[in-house]
Chain A
């Protein structure tokens, strides 16, 4: 089975801190994604990466950056955390295939609180 591991289930940080959320997948997937999940808003894509050192902005990239130095690891960075970034963050991965029906595989999520 595909395993997508997020480094923390719960995280509490202070306003202005630089925050790192880490995600590792063990299936050699090319594509990795960071989503934010908020009640009533569903999942919104922050950034994704289709290869090492490659990244693309999603729908809500403002206030975030990402890093993908190795294929298995995709980091989400909050440069200067703000209270409106309190949310559940989900990481996902999928293989690079020509068939678009390949599903994304999700981690357990990190519930981040910014105080």
Chain B
């Protein structure tokens, strides 16, 4: 079974600075998908960024980028120019691409609570 580990329960960053959230995962598959989700306080969980394992290029979405190290099974999220609105719980998630009902599942890490200091 796949596992996803987020080793930092809490992080903080100064406004306008850069912060990196860590995520490692365990899988025996060679092809899969990785996601970062953001859950602001009392608000809906939304997708931040996704990465397809067969793509070597790291995904980027505006101020958010990932450092995907497939051999190390590492998928960290970098937030540049941090803003107050970035304060949230961040969850790393893994999905297998294999067919069958089970492939639709996401396996989530336990989350990292990010605080942004004005």
Question: Chain B contacts of A106 at CB under 8 A?
Answer: 37, 44-46
Query: Which chain A residues lie closer than 8 Å to B35 at the CB level?
Result: 103
How many whole Å from B9's CB to the nearest CB in chain A?
Answer: 7
Are B91 and A103 in touch, CB under 8 angstroms?
A: no
B110 CB to nearest A CB, Å: 4
A42 touches B109 (CB 8 A): yes
Interface 0/1 of B87-118, CB less than 8 Å to A: 00001000111000111111011110000000
Chain A residues with CB under 8 A of B47: 103
Task: Report the Cα distance A40→B91, complex, angstroms.
Answer: 12
Pairwise interchain contact A90-B103, C-beta atoms closer than 8 A: no
Q: Are B109 and A101 in contact (CB under 8 A)?
A: no
B43 CB contacts on chain A under 8 angstroms: 108
Q: Which residues of A contact B33 (CB under 8 A)?
A: 100-101
Interface residues of A in 87-115 (CB under 8 A from B): 90, 94, 96, 100-101, 103-104, 106-109
Determine if B52 is an interface residue (Cβ-Cβ < 8 Å). yes
A38-51 to B contact mask, C-beta < 8 Å, 1/0:
00111111001010
Q: In the complex the two chains form, is A43's CB within 8 Å of B96's CB? A: no
Q: Please tell me if the beta carbons of A42 and B97 are within 8 angstroms of each other in the complex.
A: no
| Set B50, B91, B102, B104: member contacting A42, Cβ < 8 A | B91
- Contact partner of B97 among A54, A96, A100, CB < 8 A? A100
**A43/B44 in contact, CB under 8 A:** no
Contact yes or no, B91 A45, CB < 8 A: no
A: residues with CB less than 8 A from B are 31, 33, 40-45, 48, 50, 54, 56, 58, 90, 94, 96, 100-101, 103-104, 106-109
The 9 closest A-B pairs by CB, nearest first: A100-B97, A42-B110, A106-B45, A103-B47, A43-B108, A42-B108, A100-B33, A31-B104, A101-B33
